[in-house]
């Protein structure tokens, strides 16, 4: 089952993408046979509920919402109170949208600390403090480990194993992980880790590819089939751990796919999904 993460169309970042409205995205995805869509908060504004209903009326599922604010690190909001307030708002938005998966990108090392261990503890604490609130709104929280190349400022969780360990520490039912090809493709321990620890814990699976000659860690993701990730093997690891949800195409690509007509991008994803994933 294929879903679109709207980051793939670029419009969630200023100055990028074709500027499609959520309604345009929904209609074209429905026409092309996608099963669901994951939105970004920025697209919703105060229309979360309306956009959720519109998506379901078109026969699609709202697969998820991206994402919570950074919980730690130099890119996080300046105070703990602001972070926690925005975290609660993101949960409310996911509930209004009618999705049960909200993705968490942890944020990097907390200013004043070195390494990632202290920051991981802060993330665990902050997630634990909102977990019950999220559960009351039927929202599951998906910790997404990011490629170590992003650990300077965007993440303190770099592997599926670390994210699963954090889940165990938090110890509640509605906190799990998201697996994104871009972040885990290099990890030769992934199969074993997921097999041993991830049963029932995987809340999302994100597709793209890692380009051999990538020019930007954040905004030069490849289309499936254009890179070096073993897409079939990773999907197999995820599904062997019991994941039955969507494969969600999430391609940040400022210089290539974001410059193309979204119709072409969305059709290409369908073709590549069938051929390579």
Point out which span in 49-57, 82-90, 198-206, 267-275 binds Zn ion (CB under 5 A).
Answer: 198-206
Minimal distance, residue 185 CB to Zn ion, in Å: 12
Q: Would you give the DSSP letter of residue 82?
A: H
Q: Establish if 209 lies at the interface with Zn ion (CB under 5 A).
A: no
Q: Give strand pairing partners of 65.
A: 39, 102
Minimal distance, residue 273 CB to Zn ion, in Å? 16
Q: Report the candidate in 206, 215, 220 with the shortest Cα–Cα distance to residue 248.
A: 206
Closest approach, Cβ 53 to Zn ion, in A, equals 25
Stretch that binds Zn ion, among 11-19, 106-114, 229-237, 244-252 (CB under 5 A): 244-252
* Position 248 contacts Zn ion (CB under 5 A): no
Scanning the structure block, which residue is given the tokens 């799990």?
Answer: 176
Interface residue with Zn ion among 61, 110, 180, 209 (CB under 5 A) is: 180
Residue 104: how many CA atoms within 13 Å on its side-chain side? Answer: 34
Q: Of 126 and 206, which has the nearer Cβ to Zn ion?
A: 206
Nearer of residues 54 and 235 to Zn ion, judged by Cβ: 235
Residue 221 as a binder of Zn ion (CB under 5 A): the answer is: no
Q: Strand 175-180 to strand 2-5: parallel, antiparallel, or no bridges (unpaired)?
A: unpaired
Of 130, 162, 164, 135, the closest CA to residue 147 belongs to 162
**Nearest residue (CB) to Zn ion, 61 versus 250:** 250
Coil, strand, or helix at residue 247? strand
Half-sphere exposure of residue 29: CA atoms within 13 angstroms, side-chain side: 32
Q: Closer to Zn ion by CB, 220 or 250: give it.
A: 250
Contact 155, 194 (CB under 8 A): no
Least separation in angstroms between CB 177 and Zn ion = 11
Stretch that binds Zn ion, among 27-35, 114-122, 161-169, 178-186 (CB under 5 A): 178-186
Q: Say how many C-beta atoms besides its own lie within 10 A of residue 112's C-beta.
A: 6
276 burial type by CB count under 10 A (0-12 exposed, 13-18 middle, 19+ buried):
middle
In the complex with Zn ion, the residue whose CB is nearer, 136 or 153, is 153
Q: Is 154 in the site for Zn ion (CB under 5 A)?
A: no
Contact in structure between 97 and 39 (CB atoms under 8 Å): yes
206 makes contact with Zn ion (CB under 5 A): yes
Nearest to Zn ion of 55, 103 (CB atom): 103
Shortest distance, position 145 Cβ to Zn ion, whole Å: 10
Helix (H) or strand (E) holding 160: helix 160-170
Which one of 32-40, 148-156, 213-221, 246-254 is the stretch in contact with Zn ion (CB under 5 A)? 246-254
């Amino acid at each position: 089952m294929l879903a679109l993460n709207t980051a793939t169309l670029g419009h969630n970042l200023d100055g990028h993408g074709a500027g499609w409205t959520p309604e345009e995205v929904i209609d074209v995805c429905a026409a092309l046979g996608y099963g669901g869509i994951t939105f970004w908060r920025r697209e919703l504004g105060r229309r979360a509920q309306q956009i959720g209903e519109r998506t379901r009326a078109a026969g699609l599922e709202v697969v998820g919402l991206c994402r919570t604010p950074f919980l730690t690190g130099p890119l996080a909001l300046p105070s703990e109170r602001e972070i926690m307030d925005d975290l609660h708002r993101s949960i409310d938005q996911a509930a209004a949208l009618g999705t049960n998966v909200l993705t968490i990108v942890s944020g990097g090392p907390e200013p004043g600390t070195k390494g990632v261990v202290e920051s991981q503890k802060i993330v665990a604490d902050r997630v634990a403090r909102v977990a019950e609130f999220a559960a009351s709104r039927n929202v599951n929280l998906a910790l997404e480990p990011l490629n170590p190349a992003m650990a300077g400022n965007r993440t303190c969780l770099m592997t599926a194993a670390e994210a699963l360990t954090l889940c165990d520490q938090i110890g509640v039912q509605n906190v799990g992980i998201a697996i994104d090809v871009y972040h885990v493709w290099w990890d030769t321990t992934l199969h074993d880790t997921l097999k041993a620890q991830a049963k029932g814990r995987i809340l999302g699976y994100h597709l793209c590819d890692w380009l051999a000659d990538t020019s930007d860690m954040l905004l030069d993701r490849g289309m499936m089939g254009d890179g070096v990730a073993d897409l079939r093997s990773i999907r197999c690891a995820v599904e062997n751990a019991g994941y039955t949800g969507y494969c969600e195409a999430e391609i940040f690509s400022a210089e290539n796919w974001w410059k193309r007509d979204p119709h072409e991008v969305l059709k290409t994803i369908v073709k590549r999904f069938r051929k390579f994933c």
